[in-house]
Structure 1
Amino acid sequence: MPSKNVSILLLISLFVLSVGVGPVSGNRAIKVGVYQNYPLTFIEEDGTVRGFFIDILEYVAKKENWTIEYVPGVWSECLKDLKNGRLDLLGVIAYSEQRDSHIDYTYESVLTEWAQVYVSEGSRIESILDLKDKKVAVLHDDMHFANLRSLIAQFGIQCRFVEAVEYEDILMLVQSGRCQAGLVSNFYGNQYARNYRVKRTPIVLSPERLYFATPEGTNRELLDALDSELRKLKAQDGSFYHNSMGRWLELGAHTVFDKWLGWGIFGALAFMMVFLSTSMILRAKVKSKTIELVEKNLELTREIDQRKTAEEALGESEEKFSKLFETSPIWMVLATLGEGRYVEVNEAFIRDTGYLKEEVLGRRATDFGLWPDPVQRDQVIHYLMETGSLDAYPIKFRMKDGSVRDFLWSARVVDFNEEPCTLSGLIDVTDRVKSEKEKERLLIQLEQVRRYEAIGTLAGGIAHDFNNLLMGIQGNISLALQEIHPDTPVGERLRNIESYIQNATDLTKQLLGFARGGKYEVKASSINQLIEKSAVMFGRTKKEISLQLDLERPIWTVEIDRGQIEQVLLNLFVNAWQAMPEGGDLHIQTRNITLQATHTKQYVIHPGPYVKIDVSDTGVGMDERVQKRIFDPFFTTKEKGRGTGLGLASAYGIIKNHHGYIEVYSRKGEGTRVSIFLPASEKEVVTEKPVREKIDRGSGSVMLVDDEQMVLDVGREMLQRLGFTVTTAASGREALRIFEASPDRIDLVILDLIMPHMSGGETYDRIREADQEVKVLLASGYSLDGHAKQILDRGCSGFIQKPFNMEQLSNKISEVLKTGRP
């Protein structure tokens, strides 16, 4: 038996020796995380690391010959670095099952702390229930925070937690009023609460033992050394552990009776005697009060049940509101009224703006440029402060990608957490606004078209009458030239008058072009050839302009009236020249392009292949006001006598009549670019035939039909000079009577297109009913397009453009009588 006891004592001695020696020896460098948690661990302003845990650690490190490197940070960073292995050791850490999967702890705790709730000086918060619907500041990733959240849930109430990175931040949040309560360590609160306008509450919770810890599976030797020393230090009265605790935590370290202990025992005995004498009296009172307390308790239970029912109903209501707020398809925003700081925004706001919630909450809209016009924001907020509400106010907001969208804003001023806020709903009406603007643009365009058509009708009528006057003058000139030698002075003057008539004819063509009077002679053409011809002619007279041609080859064919398109080009060239009084560059470019439906929709033309002509100059350019009116008839910016204001108006009409469109881009001081788009054709280019100058004499009977007596008179004489027998009719009805009376006597009918009562088209149809073989030559100041083309398609023999001279009339009659068609 003695030998057995000796063996046991020997084993115990070996165990004690092994614990005392510890596994760590030699110079060992360790990284230790420290954060601000006075008085357990903290960093002085000069960088010195101090605190109760630091004293214990350095005491052990000295004995174990460790070299310590302190790594300062905030609590959450230290915890993260420990888990990731960037730290070897961290002190002042509580145990949790979640942390235990990443962290190893000492077996010995260093000491126990608890948490206490602090509030502002005027607050009435005194219990956990008083925290309902309040904002509570807590330390991120703190065990006290986890315990408080669990306790709040057990009581069936809700509050909003605001996570801070330091205990100091928590007390500052409470002092500033941004949070109604804050949870800190009792040690930290005892030391620093006096520096803030806060007070301690009776709410105490979460006593937690604090340990040293290392990353999971590493540095176990450090923990073993700390455990060994802690066990010895805690067991010895007056040890370094107890002295350090007394210094940092202001506790007495004495463990023996002093001279006053006897007096204390005497006082205690006296107190017990008094207690025994009064206990008999109190027992009777307690019995009488018990019944009263039971009744009060029942009443309190009923009140708690009622309150709980009301709170559950309120919770359901709040949950419904929160769900409606978050899932609403329109923007829902809660913001402080004064500063406009965002308290909450819903998913629609995040989705549309492109911002993350953390980029928005706590900030003002002006901080990240949501308001394109901050002045407007101030005006609206001022209105809200005065009236308390806002209904369907049109507003613009800029998204994160820079785009600006339109909204209708409705808002109400509400009280949220004892602070005035705005609860807003915003409906995105960007597409509606665009649609309304497009509708307005189309209405303006329609009104412009109607105005053009009205003026065009007037211009067409004027051109028609003017052409008849020119016909009378041209016919008489042609007759006069037949009677004299053309080389005489009088003959030369008559030829000059003929050229003036041609200029006047060109002016009427401009009027008819503006009036969309149609294309006169449409041929498949090369726009490059026409541009080269016009550019050469223009360049000879305007030497100060530098012409630059950039023509795509091969260029697609276009079906055009060459004379009209040449007129358009020359108008553009002249406008460019007048915009460059000091000279400059005129750049002409052609391209084959294909227009999509999205581009052609606004111009009411068909998508497909087009030839694009760009005429660009380096002139003075135009402002927006002038650009809006450049296609208005008779509008001009030129000096009096330098323009009629019909150039671009007629160009617009001509291009539209060719089923194309015209665009103008210009900026003041930067020149102008005019772009013309003409539909491409698959036809082969038609080669021009030389015009005959010879007058052919003829014979036979011709009936001339026109409602203008002047045209009848001069036309009769011109036809007679050409050798024909002439019958005249002043209307369609008269022509029909004459023709029906003697159809065999008439070889050719020259028929005016525009006549009162019975039009040229109706007259033609009635004549063809009487005689299918009769030749009819249609004459008009209008073009071959429109009504004239319809009559030709019905079998009419030919068309001649007023005004015409003897040569033109002779050639056209000869052509019709020989071939029957132009």
Structure 2
Amino acid sequence: MKQEQADGNSEHERLRDECAALREECRALREAAEKDRAARLEAEKLGKSLSEAFASSPEALAVVDAAGRVLLSNPAAERLLGQELARTGQWPFALPVSGQDQEIEVLTPLGGLVVAEVRAWPIRWLEEDALLVSLRDVSESHRMVQALREVREELEARVQERTRELRRANEQLLEEIAERVLTQEELSHSESRYRAILEDQSELICRYLPDGRLSYVNEAYVRYYGKSRADLMDRNFIPDIPAEDLGTVLPLISGLSKEWPVVEFEHRIRMEDGSIRWQRWTHRAIFGQTGELVEYQAVGRDVTKRKQAEDQAQEQRAFLRLIIDSLPNPIFVKDRRGSYVLVNKAMATLYGQSPDEMIGRVGADFNPDGEEIERFRREDADVLDRGTILYIPQKTITDSTGKKRWYTKTKVPLVERDLVLGVAVDVTDLLEAEMERLRLEKRMRQTQKMQALGTLAGGIAHDFNNMIYAILGFTDLSLRRAEDGKLRDYLEQIKSAGLRASELVRQILTFSRQTDQGRTKMRVSLLCKEITKMLTPTLPANVEVELKIETDRDTILGDPIQIHQVLLNLCTNSVHAMRERGGYMEIVLRDGPDGSPPACGEEAQDGCIELLVSDTGVGMDQATMERIFDPFFTTKAQGEGTGMGLSVVHGIVEAHGGTIRVESQPGHGSTFLVRLPRLRAEEECGSPDDSDIPRGCERILFVDDENLLAQMAGEMLAHLGYAVTSMTSAAEALELFKTAPDSFDLVITDQTMPGMTGAEFARAVMAVRPGMPVILITGFSEKLSEEEAWRMGIKSFLLKPVSESQLARAIREAL
């Protein structure tokens, strides 16, 4: 019994010891599990960090074994190569050699071709030898930033997957411990690889806290700033950014969130030596599990050279812009649709716009002329389709106000961009100058014709005047002896016809004469009657003319030739206005307003006379009336007028101290009103009484190469009581005079004679007998004027035909 009890006690103690040992073993297992859990959490944290780095790496990364199988790849590699390498399971290129960088061409999924730099590092992956391969797009290295992010995210995903496997293996403690050991080794390798990747990058990589203090920098960052890693760590980089850039940078960084964690920007940085450089950065905000901001990770590069190149390009563009804007010629570039891509200042000014306002718009937005716009479109299409330069001479361009100017254009195709470059040269002034030259040439030719006509008229006038002089002289002689009343009527008709012929010759000479005859006292009424008589036979049958003389005080101091031109021009213009429909023209000469209005100027000594020329023609609008006195302005068809008539009229009237104005309405005719200063009553010229012809008994030597005229003059002077010696040779007459110079009291000579002119004969006579009175008579002479005759000492200068009374008075004045 005792033995059994002793055995029972012994068994109980053994069981108690075994229980104690089991409790100790359980405690040890719990401690080991706690340590393993702590290690697993640490592994999870480290794995998450490595996974984020692997997934976010901007470089394409892949783990490849010796057989070319892809064990792991990041998203950057899939984007670059266009396939998920992990699923295909095979490396698509030749295996790279560790330590030997190489470049390969990769066709992207979008069809683009990029050059990638391939690097390889030997690693241990799950207890196997493998290669960590990176492909870096050297053409756009900033993509590596994104690749780094994706590497990190991939590593985090791997660690999380491994962690879930560890949780499922918690049932067996030994397996959990073994898994922890393997995980620690893998994470250690991953961290080493991650840091190696970051340190080997040429981009600047850093991490910094929300307050701007640096928590990590890679080797490239250290080299760039020329400082040690220790000097850079915990250093705030924000003060190195110029204040004007911080206003942009800080709001971008502070605006990052979990939804929008990434931002890119450029800014300047102040280096240690004081120089300024440009950097481009990609910043990512990193948040904790509870959403709080932990830190920032940034990848950047120096872009100073690029910015300098951009600044230089901008300066070049500004310089080129200054050049084309300084050119006075319009310059433009248009696309195929006609939209302006570039215009210079001259082009924009043409359309009343600024250069910026014209970009992207078409010509129809500024040019109201649709036909011009269509012509421009055809020109542009022709240049682009043919690919050749088009020269367009002298075409109009209408500005925004509707005004047209003439331009010569050159359009050049910019084939590479399917654009048209155009340069226009304003030739309006040149064309107007050329038109002016042509008008002047035409006027010169007309002047030359008039000069030729004057020469011809002068030659004809001399012979005509001699014949008319003879006709009128013999008619007067015949009238003295005619007793039959019917015969006297016939002789009066002959005399009247002779006088009209004489007047016609004088009008021809007046019309063709090119020089002013000087101002004399003249009666405007006589001129009006003369013009009316001259115009009446030439008027169309459907045009009537009426002359109204409403004043008997119409004497002015003027140039008869010029006043004749004024009245003739106004009348011919009125006739022209009525040539199609006919009508009525009225010429009125009347007293001007009382009080010598200022319109007549200071030369108005006794008020004014008014000369009105009115018609019932087509009339004029206001715009035409404003320009009718401009030189070369005309409403007549080509070849019907030079546009100088009214301009000359205006100048003549003003030169005489007068004024001219016009009143007109379309369809109601026109009225021209000319005011001229009138002479005082005592200064007006009176008409001599032809019935009181002075006589004499002196001895006269009469010389004319026309025997008929010499005979007629001899009888006429003899009738007046003079003793006349008539001769037809100036040389013989001179010899006679030399033999007996005191035998004559007066010499009357013709101007145009063979062998010796009248002026030469007169000089010879006055040389023999100084002070000898000489009267010079001529049918026409261009070489000798009345003024020149007076300077020679000639007492009187008469134009044929000379009436008996006119000659008688000249003789008495000379004697």
If the length of structure 2 is used for normalisation, what is the TM-score? 0.51
1:740 and 1:504 mapped to 2: Cα distance?
A: 39
Spell out the pairing of 1:453-492 with structure 2 (5 A cutoff): 453-485=451-483, 488-492=485-489
2:403 corresponds in structure 1 to 403
1:509 aligns with 2:506: yes
Structure 1 residue 347, shift from structure 2 partner: 3.2
1:790 equivalenced with 2:788 (yes/no) = yes
Q: CA deviation at 1:341?
A: 2.1
One-letter amino acid of the structure 2 residue matched with residue 384 of structure 1: V
Is the 1:558–1:679 contact (alpha carbons within 8 Å) kept by the matching residues of 2?
Answer: no
Counterpart residue number, 2:616: 618
Matched length: 525
Taking the TM superposition and a 5 Å limit, the aligned residue runs for 1:363-762 are 363-369=361-367, 373-385=372-384, 386=386, 388-390=388-390, 393-414=393-414, 419-485=417-483, 488-516=485-513, 523-525=520-522, 527=524, 557-561=556-560, 565=564, 572=571, 575=575, 579=579, 583-584=583-584, 586=586, 615-619=613-617, 628-629=639-640, 686-730=684-728, 732-762=730-760
**CA apart distance, 1:520:** 8.0
Corresponding position of 1:314: 313
Secondary structure of residue in 2 paired with 1:704: strand
Measured at CA, do residues 593 and 427 of structure 1 come closer, stay the same or move farther in structure 2, by a change above 3 Å? farther
Could you say which residue in structure 1 is the equivalent of 2:296? none
Q: CA RMSD in A?
A: 5.9
1:413–1:423 Cα contact (<8 Å) kept: yes
State the 1:502 CA deviation: 1.1
SS at match of 2:418: strand
In structure 1, which of residues 251, 258, 266 is the aligned counterpart of residue 164 of structure 2?
A: 266
Aligned counterparts of 2:162 and 2:610: Cα–Cα separation in 1: 113
379-388 or 619-628, which moves further after superposition?
619-628
1:397: Cα distance to partner? 2.8
Offset of residue 499 of structure 1: 0.5
1:768 is the counterpart of 2:666: no
In structure 2, relative to structure 1, the CA distance for the partners of 1:518 and 1:393 (3 Å cut) is: closer
CA distance in 2 between partners of 1:491 and 1:401 (Å): 76
Distance (whole Å) between structure 1 residues aligned to residue 638 and residue 691 of structure 2: 45
Q: How does 1:143-182 map to 2 (within 5 A)?
A: none
Letter in 2 for 1:704: F
Question: Given that residues 393 and 408 in structure 1 are in contact (C-alpha distance below 8 angstroms), is that contact kept between their aligned partners in structure 2?
Answer: yes
Q: Name the CA shift for 1:577/1:430 in 2 (closer, same or farther; >3 Å).
A: closer
Give how far 1:493 is off: 0.5
The 1:519–1:612 alpha-carbon spacing in structure 2 relative to 1, beyond 3 Å, is farther
Deviations 1:734-786 (A, max 9, x none): 44333333221121111223345543333333333332322112212248996
Matches for 1:39-58 after TM superposition, within 5 Å: none
In structure 2, the CA distance between the partners of 1:593 and 1:381, relative to structure 1 (3 Å rule), is farther
User: Would you say the 8 A contact 1:705–1:750 is kept in 2?
Assistant: yes
Q: Find the residue that maps to 2:360 and give its secondary structure.
A: coil
Tell me, in whole angstroms, the C-alpha distance in 1 between the residues paired with 2:560 and 2:774. Answer: 24
Cα contact 1:586–1:618 (8 A) shared by 2: no
User: Structure 1 residues 389, 323: CA separation in 2 closer, same or farther (over 3 Å shift)?
Assistant: same
Change (3 A) 1:595 1:771: same
Q: Distance in 2 between matches of 1:550 and 1:329?
A: 65
Percent identical residues: 24
Q: Give yes or no for contact 1:580–1:620 (8 Å, CA) kept in 2.
A: no
Post-superposition offset of 1:631? 9.0
State the alpha-carbon separation in 2 of the partners of residues 269 and 412 from structure 1. Answer: 76
**Could you say what secondary structure the match of 1:373 adopts?**
helix
3-state SS in 2 of match to 1:767: helix
1:661-715, Cα deviation, whole Å (9 max, x unpaired): 9999999995876969898688875232233224444323222222333322322
Deviations 1:623-682 (A, max 9, x none): 9666844699xxxxxxxxxxxxxxx99x99x989x9999999999995876969898688
Task: Assess, with a 3 A threshold, how the Cα gap between structure 1 residues 707 and 587 changes in structure 2: closer, same or farther.
Answer: closer
Q: How far has the Cα of 1:515 moved from its partner? A: 1.7
Contact 2:345 2:354 in 1 (8 A): no
The unaligned stretches of length 5 or more in structure 2 are 1-75, 77-141, 144-159, 170-178, 205-219, 224-279, 281-299, 602-606, 621-633
Q: 1:432 to 1:615 in 2, by over 3 A?
A: same
Q: Secondary structure at the match of 1:395?
A: strand
8 Å contact kept, 1:370–1:398: yes
Matched ranges for 1:236-385 at <5 A: 266=164, 311-326=310-325, 328-351=326-349, 353-357=351-355, 360-369=358-367, 373-385=372-384
Q: Which amino acid aligns with 2:504?
A: L
Once structures 1 and 2 are overlaid, which stretch shifts more, 345-354 or 676-685? 676-685
Alpha-carbon distance, 1:482 to partner: 2.4
Q: Secondary structure at the residue paired with 2:691?
A: coil
Query: 1:409 is aligned with what amino acid?
Result: K
Structure 1 residues 695, 676: closer, same or farther in 2, change over 3 A?
Answer: same
Give the AA of the match of 1:616: S
Give the deviation of 1:477 after TM superposition: 1.6
Cα shift at 1:450:
0.9
* Distance in 2, Cα, partners of 1:551 & 1:405: 51
Distance 1:305 1:520, change over 3 A: closer
Distance 1:499 1:768, change over 3 A: same
Report the counterpart of residue 103 of structure 1 in structure 2.
none
What is the rounded CA distance, in whole Å, between the counterparts of 1:550 and 1:489 in structure 2?
34
CA distance in 2, matches of 1:770, 1:281: 147
- For residues 373 and 612 of structure 1, the distance between their equivalents in structure 2, rounded to whole angstroms, comes to 51
SS at match of 1:340: coil
Q: 1:516: Cα distance to partner?
A: 0.8
**2:734 counterpart letter in structure 1:** L
Distance of 2:433 and 2:492 partners within structure 1: 59
**1:807/1:587 Cα in 2 relative to 1: closer, same or farther (>3 Å)?**
closer
- The CA deviation at 1:494 is 0.9
Q: Is the 8 A contact 1:614 1:675 kept in 2?
A: yes
Matched to 2:444, the amino acid is L
Q: Distance in 1 between matches of 2:694 and 2:342?
A: 94
Report the Cα distance in structure 2 between the residues aligned to 1:382 and 1:757, rounded to whole angstroms: 80
Supply the AA of the counterpart residue of 1:499.
S
Provide the TM-score with structure 1 as the length reference: 0.51
Displacement of 1:405 = 2.9
Deviation of the 1:432 alpha carbon: 3.4
| Structure 1, gaps ≥5 residues long | 1-125, 127-201, 204-261, 597-608, 633-647, 818-822
| Cα distance change on mapping 1:587 and 1:467 into 2, 3 Å | closer
Return the alpha-carbon distance in structure 2 between the equivalents of residues 724 and 459 of structure 1: 35
Aligned AA (1:489): K
Alignment partner of 1:524: what SS? strand
Deviation of 1:270 (Å): 8.2
Structure number, greater radius of gyration: 2
| Residue identity matched to 1:565 | H
Structure number with greater CO (CA < 8 Å, separation at least 6) is: 1
Q: Deviations along 1:165-189, whole A, 9 cap, x unmatched? A: xxxxxxxxxxxxxxxxxxxxxxxxx
Judge conservation of contact 2:516–2:561 (CA < 8 Å) in 1.
Answer: no
Q: Deviations over 1:719-745 (max 9, x none)?
A: 333333333444554443333332211
Secondary structure at the counterpart of residue 363 of structure 1: coil
